[in-house]
Amino acid sequence: MRRLFTSTILFLAAIVALGGSKIFAYDNGDWQHWNRESVEGNISKNLKAKLDVEFRFGDNCSELYHQYSEMGLSYRCSGWFDLGLNYRQIYEKKGDAWRQENRPHLNATLKWSFWSLKLQDRSRLEYRAREGRDNIFRYRNKLTVKLPKLTEFKIEPYIAGEPFYDFDANEVNKNRLYAGMSFTAVKNLKADIYYMFEGNKMNDSWTNINVLGTTFKCGF
């Protein structure tokens, strides 16, 4: 099992190192598909390593326009607080060219229970080093409410909201609303299926996209 985890880490690390090679301005109300693959494992009792890759398809799910690779560490400070440091390399399509962004980010996550609900509040501070544009800081806060698990597959419905605050523009210019469910597909493999509504502010007007998302997470 440890050898499998090491091999998977090396495979995803190669993807991160190679990068990828993509954002079109799609129609307001565009439908998209985002798919993320993730592998994570414990380095020690409280320290965990993670690698992610994600691909986003726009124009009614017909065209790849964004992909990223990410690696990170998270430390469980207590049963109710985690602290993490991640690095994300992004390629997104601008017209006919791919533009790169390097995005280190710091995450602090609070976790608690209320009645039969599980709540999680993740604060994220990002530094966005963008090709051809000014580098900026951005703050994101994602609050997730998880309902009790159902059936033998441990299906866990959830809802979440995530506003984005741009320090350069001094405003909230992106907002996401989620509804989905996570479940155990097979041993050591969890899946997440969700719908996300994303609003984006540009030039004092808002546009939106609809996302059908899938995530597959392999844990060791």
Place of tokens 């190669």: 14
pLDDT for the residue numbered 153? 75
Q: Which amino acid is at 118?
A: K
Share of the chain above pLDDT 90, in %: 79
Report the DSSP pairing between strands 156-166 and 136-146.
Answer: antiparallel
For the segment 12-26, the average pLDDT, to the nearest whole number, is 45
Confidence band, pLDDT 50/70/90 cuts, at residue 14? very low
CA–CA dist 169, 34 (Å, integer): 27
Average pLDDT over residues 198-203: 94
Can you list the pairs that 191-198 forms with residues at least 24 positions away whose Cβ atoms lie under 8 Å?
191/215, 191/216, 191/217, 192/216, 192/217, 196/34, 198/174
| pLDDT tens digits, one per residue of 103-127 | 999 999 999 999 999 999 999 999 9
pLDDT for the residue 217: 96
Q: Which CATH architecture best describes the domain 2-219?
A: Beta Barrel (2.40)
pLDDT at 21 over 80: no
Residues 133 and 92 sit within 8 Å (Cβ to Cβ): no
Q: What is the pLDDT of residue 120?
A: 98
Separation of alpha carbons 53 and 67, rounded Å: 7
Pairing of strands 156-166, 47-58: unpaired
Rounded distance between C-alpha atoms, residue 142 and residue 178, angstroms: 10
One-character DSSP codes across 131-185? TTS--EEEEEEEEEEEPPPBTTTTBEEEEEEEEEEETTTTEEEEEEEEEEEEEEE
pLDDT band at 69 (very low <50, low <70, confident <90, very high): very high
Residue 10 has pLDDT above 70, yes or no: no
Residue spans of the domains in the chain: they are 2-219
Report the Cα 84 to chain-centroid distance in Å.
14
- Indicate if the pLDDT at residue 9 is higher than 50: no
pLDDT in tens, 138-197: 999 999 999 999 887 789 999 999 999 999 999 999 999 999 999 988 888 999 999 999
* Spatial contact of 9 and 1, defined as CB atoms under 8 Å apart: no
Contact (CB, 8 A) for 89 and 16: yes
Closest residue by Cα to residue 122 from 138, 106, 136, 137: 106
For the chain, the average pLDDT equals 90
Residue 25: per-residue pLDDT: 67
Q: Which of 23-37, 74-88, 98-112 shows the lowest mean pLDDT across its residues?
A: 23-37
Structure-block tokens of residue 39: 């592998």
